[in-house]
Amino acid sequence: MNTSKIGHSDLAVSRINLGGNVFGWTLDEAQSFKILDAFADKGGNFIDTADVYSCWVPANTGGESETIIGKWLKTRRDKDKLVVATKVGWDFGDGVRKGLKPAYIKQAAEASLKRLQVDTIDLYYTHIDTGEVPVEEYLGAYAELIKEGKVRYIAASNVPADRLRYSLELGASGAYPLYQALQPHYNLVERTTYESEYAPIVAQYGLTVFPYWSLASGFLTGKYRSEADLGKSVRGGGVKKYLDAKGLSVLAALDEVAEKHHTSVAAAALAWLLAKPGIGAPIASATSPSQLDTLFAATALTLDAGDVQALDKASQ
Ligand SMILES: NC(=O)c1ccc[n+]([C@@H]2O[C@H](COP(=O)([O-])OP(=O)(O)OC[C@H]3O[C@@H](n4cnc5c(N)ncnc54)[C@H](OP(=O)(O)O)[C@@H]3O)[C@@H](O)[C@H]2O)c1
Distance 20 CA to ligand 1 centre (A): 9
How far is Cα of residue 93 from the mean position of the Cα atoms in its chain? 21
* Residue-range definition of the domain harbouring residue 86: 3-314
Contacts of residue 65, Cβ cutoff 8 Å, sequence gap at least 6: 20, 21, 23, 24, 25, 49, 50, 53, 54
> Domain of 88: which CATH number?
3.20.20.100
Residue owning the nearest CA to atom 27 of ligand 1: 286
- In 96-219, where does DSSP find H-type helix? 102-116, 135-147, 161-172, 192-193, 199-205
pLDDT at 93 over 90: no
Residue 61, pLDDT > 80, answer yes
The count of structural domains within the chain is: 1
pLDDT at 2 over 90: no
Protein residue with its CA nearest to atom 38 in ligand 1: 233
Neighbours of 316 (CB within 10 A): 10
- Binning pLDDT at 50, 70 and 90, where does residue 129 land? very high
Residue 138: active-site member: no
Say yes or no: CB of residue 263 within 6 Å of ligand 1.
no
pLDDT band with cut points at 50, 70 and 90 for residue 204 = very high
**Is the CB of 32 within 6 Å of ligand 1?**
no
The pLDDT value given to residue 176: 98
- Mutational test site, ligand 1, from 35, 88, 287, 288, max ligand atoms within 8 Å of CB: 287
- Quote the pTM value: 0.98
Contact 251, 238 (CB under 8 A): no
Q: Is the CB of 285 under 6 A from ligand 1?
A: yes
* Main-chain phi, psi angles of 7, to 5 degrees: 50, -130
> Of 53, 153, 176, 198, which residue is the catalytic one?
53
